[in-house]
């Protein structure tokens, strides 16, 4: 059902992922703390506000099935920031649709996005509480997942090569 939904929404690639292969890794949290993306401490779904890694692993252990989804597109060159931004927005829209539809079909869904929660144009973190805790999307990285490892486990490429960009997210169904 999830795979069918993902294909209907238009993701470039989609494949089943075995939740038992997902491991929350401290190393990924350390990469987040380096704040190369500029969202560390500025989004409720990102570290250090994303909760303990042990709690993330417990949630992952409750998942019974999942799908990895990707949006891939061509870039003019490796500095094509506008092209990257357009692809990121396209992927975010697709993933928000997938999460919304999955939440209608399954009682407990764990959507893990590519990057920070983008439900609001500007996250209220850290000054005011999250506006929409029920809609909030955590990132794969906030759950300690090494995206390349998850792609490998699902049999999908992490990247399609030079002058392309791929955004990856996954959606998991919980017991
Ligand atoms: S729902 Fe809004 S306030 Fe809450 S984490 Fe997402 S962007 Fe931030």
What confidence tens digit (pLDDT) does each residue in 90-104 have?
A: 999 999 999 999 999
What pTM does this model have? 0.91
What confidence tens digit (pLDDT) does each residue in 103-115 have?
A: 999 999 999 999 8
* Bridge partners (DSSP) listed for residue 105: none
Distance 60 CA to ligand 1 centre (A): 21
What confidence tens digit (pLDDT) does each residue in 55-95 have?
A: 999 999 999 999 999 999 999 998 999 999 999 999 999 99
Name the residue of 44, 115, 118 whose CB sits within 8 Å of the most ligand 1 atoms, as the mutation to test its pocket: 44
Going by C-alpha positions, the residue among 139, 140, 141, 119 that lies closest to residue 130 is 119
Quote the domain boundaries for residue 15. 2-174
Residue of minimum CA distance from atom 2 in ligand 1: 120
- Domain count within the chain: 1
CA distances from 101 to 21, 94, 108 (A): 25, 11, 12
State which H helix or E strand residue 138 sits in.
strand 138-139
């Amino acid at each position: 059902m999830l795979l069918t939904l993902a294909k209907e929404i238009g993701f470039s690639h989609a494949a089943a992922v075995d939740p038992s292969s997902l491991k929350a890794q401290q190393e990924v949290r350390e990469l987040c703390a380096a704040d190369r993306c500029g969202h560390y401490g500025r989004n409720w779904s990102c570290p250090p506000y994303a909760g303990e890694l042990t709690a993330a692993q417990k949630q992952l252990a409750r998942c019974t099935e999942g799908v990895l989804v990707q949006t891939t597109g061509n870039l003019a060159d490796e500095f094509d920031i506008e092209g990257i931004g357009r692809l990121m927005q396209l992927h975010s829209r697709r993933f928000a649709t997938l999460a919304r539809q999955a939440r209608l079909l399954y009682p407990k869904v764990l959507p893990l996005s590519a990057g920070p929660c983008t439900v609001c144009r500007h996250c209220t973190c850290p000054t005011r509480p999250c506006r929409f805790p029920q809609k909030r999307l955590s990132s794969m990285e906030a759950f300690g997942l090494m995206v390349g490892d998850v792609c490998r486990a699902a049999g999908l490429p992490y990247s399609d090569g030079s002058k392309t960009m791929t955004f990856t997210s996954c959606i998991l169904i919980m017991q």
